[in-house]
Amino acid sequence: MVDKANFPLGSVASYNSVLSGFARAHLWSKAESLLAQILHTHRTDSSLVSTSFGLVISSYGKAGMLANMESLFRCMLNEGCSPSTSTFNAMISVYGKALRIPDMEAALQAMLAEFPGVEPNVITWCCLADAYRRAKLDARVDMALEKLLLKPEELDAKAYGLMVDIYGRRKDFQSVERCYKEMVDAGFKPDVSAWTSMAVNIVLDAYGAKGSIRRMEQTLDEMEDDGIEPDSRTYTALVAGYAKARMVRRMESTFLRMRVACCAPDEFVYNALIDGYASLGMVEEAEQKLAEMSRSGLKASVVELTSVLNS
C-alpha cells in the first residue's frame, strides 16, 4: 500500500466521503494514501476501517483493475481486517461479469468458510445467478435461485427482475407469472427502474407467447397506469403476441402506435412484424416492411429473411 499522506484528521465517515470521491475520479494514489491514513488513525475501529478498504476494493473492481482489487484485498487480510459482505459482493460481481467462475466461487467459499458472521445475502445470490446464467451453467443457476428464495423478506425489485428474466429466457412462463405476481404483492409495483420495467416486458412477452392476449393487454394497461412508457421491447412483445394470435389489425395498430409515440422502431420490432406477416402468409406486406426496414438502415435477421422466403 502507498504510504499514508498528510490529510487533515477527521472522522472515518468524512474520510470515506473523500475516499469515495478519489476512487470515482480514479485518483488511485490519493485513494490508497488516504486509506493508509485511515488505517493508521482508526485501526481499532475494525468495522469502519473495513468499510474504507471495501470502498477502494469495489472501485478497483468496477474500473476493471482486477489485479489491484485482489492485491488490496490481500493487504486488507494482512492488516487483520475482516471483509464485509458488501466487499465480497463487489468481488463476486466483478468476477461474475468477467465470467471468471472459479474466482467467483472461491470468493464465495472464502466468505462461507473463513469469516464467521459474514453471510451471503440477496445481492450475493443475484450476482451468482446472473453469472451462472451467462455462463450457461443451468444447474448452478437453480442452486443460486434456491438460495435466493430462502430469503423472501430480503428480495427487492432487482432480485425479482432477475428471476423473471431467467425464467423468461427459459420460456418457463408459469414461473414468470408467479414471480411477477409475488413482486407486485410484495409492494414492488412496476416503475421506471430498469429492473421492474424489464420484468414487465418479459411478462408481456410470456403472455404473448402463450396466446394470453387479454392478460397481456391487462398487464400493459397496469404498466401505463403506473407511469411506465412502453419502449422498443414492449412493442416487440405486443407485436409478436398479436401475430401469434393472428390478430393482424392489432399487430399493425401497435406498430403504428409506436411511431405516433415517437419511439423509433428498431430491428427487433421490425423482425417481429415481418415474421408475423410471413407466418400469416401475408407475403406482400412482409416484403414491404423488409424494404422499409432496409431503407431505415436496419438489418433483418436470418430468421426473418428465411420466413419471407418460405412464406
Residue range 118-136, pLDDT digits in tens: 999 999 999 999 999 999 9
CA distances, 191 to each of 142, 161, 199, 272 (Å): 27, 12, 10, 26
Higher pLDDT, 261 or 308: 261
pLDDT band at 30 (very low <50, low <70, confident <90, very high): very high
pLDDT higher than threshold 50 for residue 34: yes
Average pLDDT over residues 74-100: 94
pLDDT band at 1 (very low <50, low <70, confident <90, very high): very low
Amino acid at 256: L
The share of the chain scoring above pLDDT 70, in percent, equals 89
pLDDT of residue 302: 46
pLDDT of residue 217: 93
Residue range 273-284, pLDDT digits in tens: 999 999 888 989
Residue 77 grid cell: 487480510
| Residue indicated by cell numbers 490519493 | 30
Q: What is the pTM of this model?
A: 0.69
Residue range 201-253, pLDDT digits in tens: 888 988 998 889 999 999 888 888 777 788 888 999 999 999 999 999 999 99
Residue range 179-192, pLDDT digits in tens: 888 888 888 765 55
pLDDT of residue 203: 87
Q: Rounded to an integer, what distance in angstroms lies between the CA atom of residue 258 and that of residue 234?
A: 10
CA 297 to chain centre: 29
